[in-house]
Amino acid sequence: MSAVALNTIVQQIEQLAPEEKWTLLSILIESLRRHAEPTRQRICDYYGVGKGRGFRTAQEVDTFIDQERASWER
């Protein structure tokens, strides 16, 4: 979009009533949310993290914890 076109839009926004400006702002925010990239990583992105110790099931976690606890008792 050119600077002239953007300036025209800004001038039109200035002519809106305060309530209309708030409505426009909420529309813009929702538009940005839809197009923004998620900042959170999915939990499955962490599988395999930590020297091959990514756990895929609860059973794998339990087995690992049991092995660790057993190593403390030695």
Across 7-15, average pLDDT: 96
Mean pLDDT of the chain: 84
- Which pair of structure tokens corresponds to residue 36? 């923004």
- How much is the pLDDT for 48? 57
Residue 19 has pLDDT above 80, yes or no: yes
Residue-range domain boundaries for the chain: 3-35, 43-72
Read off the DSSP letter of residue 47.
T
Nearest Cα to Cα of residue 53 among 72, 35, 36, 68: 68
Q: Each residue of 24-59: pLDDT tens digit? A: 999 999 999 888 876 776 766 666 555 556 677 888
Global pTM exceeds 0.75: no
Picking from 49, 33, 51, the residue whose alpha carbon sits closest to that of residue 41 is 49
Q: What is the pLDDT of residue 58?
A: 86
